[in-house]
Structure 1
């Protein structure tokens, strides 16, 4: 409990510092506390550049945070939450202590320089790194370490968004992926502590100031349900666009990684020149869309623009979250949908802003597939309880359609692309992702088929697995010869000079690209302690695969980083 309090206090303080850094860098690089929503106005520091300063702001920011991330904490690149999920699921909750400071500076610079990303991913990673660092200092057990990481994530969300309940459920649903009483209690303590500190420093108002919304016609529930289904599709689309653009950036970039954010910042600057509403997190624009200040066509442009701008920011090596962009995209979708419904059915549709709010939660649910978090965080961010029923219905439908369309979320897809499946036990995932070629033992010198048995006997006596591969004059694999077969042939004293080609056996073998799960089946069927690993054509022998080698690989993967 004491450690949970300590982590919560640290996360709360970290959230305050992080928000201050964003404000400082945004003011320094744009000349305004929040440039989004102001339109194409000049930077107060360099008015002579006019609106063209947005071409330079991302480049300057990239020159600062690119080397910082590359040389001090590469895990600080990207949106942060997948890295925390991986640390909890696969590394015993261990996160490098420098990640907190690097992530705070890099994300604040990225957002301040126009990066179209959110602050929830960074604050989750900052709080989680603090929790992990405290856990390592006091040498807690691995199970407790994971809870402290979740406490840090919850505290960061609670303090930065004034949303302590959302912090708790975000940590339980996405980070720990488990609801047990003890963990829940500790995460609540951390979230409350961080929330109190955040409210003392940042105030106690709802994140978005909105007029009251009402559902005044029962037919609106059908419209909300349809919006939920559409939002689920858009949430999945956002995930796909994000990683598609990241792949394109990876494919075309050939320079040093530390320079990538600055060079890529030129492309981001062009997007900001066309759509200055994409600068930074964009909450002022989000608020205006819900208030009905934009036409349907422009709302669609903003929706597409946010997908592209966020994906480009991440693709060029930026640092920031995808939660706020998903809310932004949802608000544009919902507001456009509400405007259209109001034009087609003015007597039934009701207030346009209601659809914008529901779209926010539903798109996030479709992208992240965290329905409990989506419901709670929308309530806490807006203070709107009057639309809780249609909000819940739309979020559940968005989650369902997301399940139907894809097996991954916007967070887990990043890990699956690295070969990590959080839904599969660690050892099982490793068996499916690691190939025989990656863990095979050295082959040694194979026997030529014309080698005399007596000569081969001495080599077989020293062979680690009591067998050696046999090849022809061209080096093609023929099979194996075992020490037992050679001993039987030599026992009568008449076969000393007989070539080993005469006693070659066709043993079980695997191809180099076979995963360990398939290779274990072949090992179990083999008579010896190891089997040959062949190239994909089956003509060349490359090495040996043994049970000991597989077990050693699994043990090394399970060993926590930094332990002996």
Structure 2
């Protein structure tokens, strides 16, 4: 007889119905700690810290690559401010070396991008936006390496683009890779991707707040407490690492600035209007030139950056200030070292140079070029205003910085990011009110002129609208009219509250529409609003018209996903469906009707209310 209560002998192995988790994870190549992080309550916090640290280190490595390739291909730390100097590595070429620097860079990064990561071509941010909105935050891990090398070569070889787009894509790829390895859920994957983007911006520009709002406004395009907290953690971590490497000084130095007269705000407002139009023009010209390059090119894509580099080199031969990002030129403009005519020339040349760099297949961002363009516009505007109204006009540099933020807001339509990043780049609060005035107006002008931003237009040209439900989604193509129920018995505007309370008590959804005597829709009344009014108000003299409110309007043609958003914020559990004039009731829609459509399809017959 076997005693089952005795412990097993040292040489025996206890039987188990399921294998231990750790060996299974090891066989699958998953470190045991990562699923623990994923499942633990504070696991996302740890992952956000890791993403922030990775983005900070990635920013350091990326800037080192840019400096290395710039020194190798131009012989200077930043050739944009070197005039027509020769490259000391090839002094016999004189200043003509700039004709060949983009070609050599293109020969290196063209095949690299074509072979390993084609999404590394261009300015990067739209690809991250698309990955978050449509692919659950999944970004190929090799993008970080390819984007780093390609963008550093492009900028080092004279490409007139910025480094923020690449670092956003690099940080996002790091966040996505960590999320895939740890097998987090889709919503957390998106947060890690946004944290990587925020960390890249924070470390590159010493701007942790701007990194956070850049990710929230442009990458996630939504706000939740959890996402905000995790993105902040990643941004702060990356910023600490960046400051340890690059120092803790403002990116730009603002000259002493005060608003001398209230009428100067009219000048700031006009600058904002002009900057908004310039931001839209930059967007349009960028894609026009890209289309022209696509139309003209008939050979292998890997050779396009090298051949097109000859055109870019010719432009750099005339205006070496277009070489690379061009921060020294930007600082010279803020300090008032250029005349108005030259500032306008630099503005136009930067638009052309950046568009050409992207059009020939270069890799780099458009954020820094938009700052450059805005600085030239603002400095030229400020210099002109100073000549016309010297008594009320502040320093030229202040107008340059205001124009910088306003053009970016006009191009990207991210006003919060624009305000925050300009404050962090300068460390000066005195410019905030004029800056906010110009940025808000630039954003409004941009919205009035076009429905796209410099980032979203790239996706729309590929048939992708991030504001629409993707074609493969379960509710794609379903309108509210196909799932609406019959209209419940409405309340009239003159119905006393006690009668309305009885009707609402019988209503299955706790809400009823309110109509006037002519049948025109006035709003809805809920059981809660009636009960509160009867409890605290003078119910004997009050009719239902006094408590009717207007929820978000839904028509029969409204896509069902939009209706679900309206239902999520509505009181009660139903909404009226109106005609196109929004005055007559056509039906009633509920959460149940939407779920029925999701389960059975739009052909399912809705049940009467």
Q: Check whether TM > 0.5.
A: yes
**Which moves more between the two structures, 423-432 or 412-421?**
423-432
Equivalent of residue 149 in structure 1, options 193, 212, 222:
193
**Which residue of 2 is the match for residue 309 of structure 1?**
353
Equivalent of residue 70 in structure 2, options 26, 50, 73:
26
Equivalent of residue 176 in structure 1, options 220, 229, 241:
220
Question: Could you report, residue by residue, the CA deviation over 1:303-330 in whole angstroms, capped at 9, with x for unpaired residues?
Answer: 0000000000000000000000000000
Q: Determine the C-alpha separation between the residues in 2 that align with 1:56 and 1:287.
A: 27
- Compute the displacement of 1:17 (Å): 0.2
Q: Which runs of 4+ in 1 moved over 6 A?
A: 428-433
Asked if 1 retains the 8 angstrom alpha-carbon contact of 2:255 and 2:398, the reply is: no
- Compute the displacement of 1:386 (Å): 0.6
Question: Could you report, residue by residue, the CA deviation over 1:462-494 in whole angstroms, capped at 9, with x for unpaired residues?
Answer: xxxxxxxxxxxxxxxxxxxxxxxxxxxxxxxxx
- Compute the displacement of 1:427 (Å): 3.4
Q: 1:47 to 1:17 in 2, by over 3 A?
A: same
Provide the alpha-carbon RMSD of the alignment.
Answer: 1.6
Q: 1:396 to 1:89 in 2, by over 3 A?
A: same
**Which residue of 1 is the match for residue 168 of structure 2?**
124
Unaligned runs of 5+ in 1: 434-516, 518-550, 555-564
Q: Determine the C-alpha separation between the residues in 1 that align with 2:464 and 2:99.
A: 37
2:368 is the alignment partner of 1:324: yes
Which aligned pairs between 1:343-422 and structure 2 lie closer than 5 A? 343-422=387-466
**Which residue of 1 is the match for residue 539 of structure 2?**
none
- Compute the displacement of 1:38 (Å): 1.7
2:287 is the alignment partner of 1:243: yes
Asked if 1 retains the 8 angstrom alpha-carbon contact of 2:70 and 2:76, the reply is: yes
Q: Determine the C-alpha separation between the residues in 2 that align with 1:229 and 1:289.
A: 21
Question: Could you report, residue by residue, the CA deviation over 1:173-222 in whole angstroms, capped at 9, with x for unpaired residues?
Answer: 00000011000000000000000000011111111133222222211100
Asked if 2 retains the 8 angstrom alpha-carbon contact of 1:213 and 1:384, the reply is: no
Which aligned pairs between 1:259-274 and structure 2 lie closer than 5 A? 259-274=303-318
TM-score (norm. length: structure 1): 0.76
Q: Determine the C-alpha separation between the residues in 1 that align with 2:301 and 2:54.
A: 31
Q: 1:209 to 1:72 in 2, by over 3 A?
A: same
Q: Determine the C-alpha separation between the residues in 2 that align with 1:333 and 1:415.
A: 28
Q: 1:44 to 1:330 in 2, by over 3 A?
A: same
Q: Determine the C-alpha separation between the residues in 2 that align with 1:34 and 1:298.
A: 20
Question: Could you report, residue by residue, the CA deviation over 1:151-180 in whole angstroms, capped at 9, with x for unpaired residues?
Answer: 000000000110000000000000000011
Equivalent of residue 288 in structure 1, options 332, 339, 362:
332
Equivalent of residue 236 in structure 2, options 187, 192, 200:
192
Q: 1:8 to 1:296 in 2, by over 3 A?
A: same
- Compute the displacement of 1:425 (Å): 1.9
Q: 1:139 to 1:431 in 2, by over 3 A?
A: closer
Q: Determine the C-alpha separation between the residues in 2 that align with 1:364 and 1:407.
A: 16
Asked if 2 retains the 8 angstrom alpha-carbon contact of 1:421 and 1:429, the reply is: no
Equivalent of residue 163 in structure 1, options 207, 214, 223:
207
Question: Could you report, residue by residue, the CA deviation over 1:117-138 in whole angstroms, capped at 9, with x for unpaired residues?
Answer: 0000000000000000000001
Question: Could you report, residue by residue, the CA deviation over 1:259-296 in whole angstroms, capped at 9, with x for unpaired residues?
Answer: 00000000000010111000000000000001110011
**Which residue of 2 is the match for residue 216 of structure 1?**
260
The 3-state SS of whatever aligns with 2:81 is: coil
Asked if 2 retains the 8 angstrom alpha-carbon contact of 1:329 and 1:360, the reply is: yes
**Which moves more between the two structures, 418-427 or 274-283?**
418-427
Asked if 2 retains the 8 angstrom alpha-carbon contact of 1:116 and 1:278, the reply is: yes
**Which residue of 1 is the match for residue 152 of structure 2?**
108
**Which residue of 2 is the match for residue 448 of structure 1?**
none
Q: Determine the C-alpha separation between the residues in 2 that align with 1:2 and 1:208.
A: 33
**Which residue of 2 is the match for residue 528 of structure 1?**
none
The 3-state SS of whatever aligns with 2:80 is: coil
- Compute the displacement of 1:430 (Å): 11
Q: How many residues align?
A: 436
TM-score (norm. length: structure 2): 0.70
Asked if 2 retains the 8 angstrom alpha-carbon contact of 1:306 and 1:325, the reply is: yes
Q: Determine the C-alpha separation between the residues in 1 that align with 2:160 and 2:235.
A: 27
- Compute the displacement of 1:349 (Å): 1.4
Asked if 2 retains the 8 angstrom alpha-carbon contact of 1:233 and 1:401, the reply is: yes
**Which residue of 1 is the match for residue 112 of structure 2?**
68
2:136 is the alignment partner of 1:136: no
Q: Determine the C-alpha separation between the residues in 1 that align with 2:400 and 2:302.
A: 39
Unaligned runs of 5+ in 2: 1-44, 478-558, 560-597, 602-609
The 3-state SS of whatever aligns with 2:471 is: helix
Q: Determine the C-alpha separation between the residues in 2 that align with 1:297 and 1:432.
A: 52
Q: Determine the C-alpha separation between the residues in 1 that align with 2:119 and 2:250.
A: 32
The 3-state SS of whatever aligns with 2:364 is: coil
